[in-house]
Amino acid sequence: MMREPDKMVAITKAVVEACRKPVTVKTRLGWDDSSKIIVELAERLQDVGIAALTVHGRTRCQMYKGSADWTLIGEIKNNPRMHIPIIGNGDITTPEGAREAFDRYGVDGIMVGRASFGHPWIFREIRHYLDTGTLMEPMTVEEKVALAKRHFALSLQYKGVNRGVYEMRRHLSCYFKGLPEFKATRMKLVTSMDPDEIMSLLDYVKDNWGGIQLPVEENVYGI
């Protein structure tokens, strides 16, 4: 759709007119570096009635390579014609990065994606930093094990065994990043298909590495 903005706007207009609930859009800067059309496109999408806009600071051709460019996101937010909430996305991996997104670019909200893989407490860390200006105390291994168990149980509940296990692997791969001599246990966690075995392995992690407090993660991409 980034190569056919007229069609994108027409489809969005049709969805807005057909829905009783607010319609939001999430998109990118453009198709490639030579066609970053998002500033004009944002106005057009607003004009057909969307309730909010999320912009990922990369082009479609970039996928997830390179760094997110927030300058155009800030330009959209500072456009006097824009009155809907603007949400920024891309490379928010730390509480400090979240604060910078608000302070430097003025966005109404931020979206965290890959940095939450194996690090779901990043949202609590961000909230704490925005509220207090200080970093949250790092979680202990015991706390991470308890959270991983809850996370895994919910994954099984909502996704079933096969999908629940597969989707949890990307998280378990990074939950305990930085533990010494952890490679063999990590490999078992991300290759087992038996939920009971995985739960037992999590108990093993607590028993063998409990009490260790890891440093605050600077950049966790569980990919």
Half-sphere exposure of residue 195: CA atoms within 13 angstroms, side-chain side: 18
Q: pTM for this structure?
A: 0.85
- The verdict on residue 215 lying in a domain is no
Domain interval for residue 182:
141-209
The CATH number assigned to the domain holding 170 equals 1.10.1200
Tens of pLDDT along the chain (223 residues) come to 899 999 999 999 999 999 999 999 999 999 998 889 999 999 999 999 999 999 999 999 988 888 899 999 999 999 999 999 999 999 999 999 999 999 999 999 999 999 999 999 999 999 999 999 999 999 999 999 999 999 999 999 999 999 999 999 999 999 999 899 999 999 999 999 999 999 999 999 999 998 776 655 544 444 3
Of 88, 108, 132, at which residue does a domain stop? 132
Q: Do 46 and 114 fall into the same domain?
A: yes
The CATH number assigned to the domain holding 110 equals 3.20.20.70
DSSP 20-84: SS--EEEEES-SSTT---HHHHHHHHHHTT-SEEEEESS-TTTTT-S----HHHHHHHT-TT--S
Q: Do 51 and 104 fall into the same domain?
A: yes
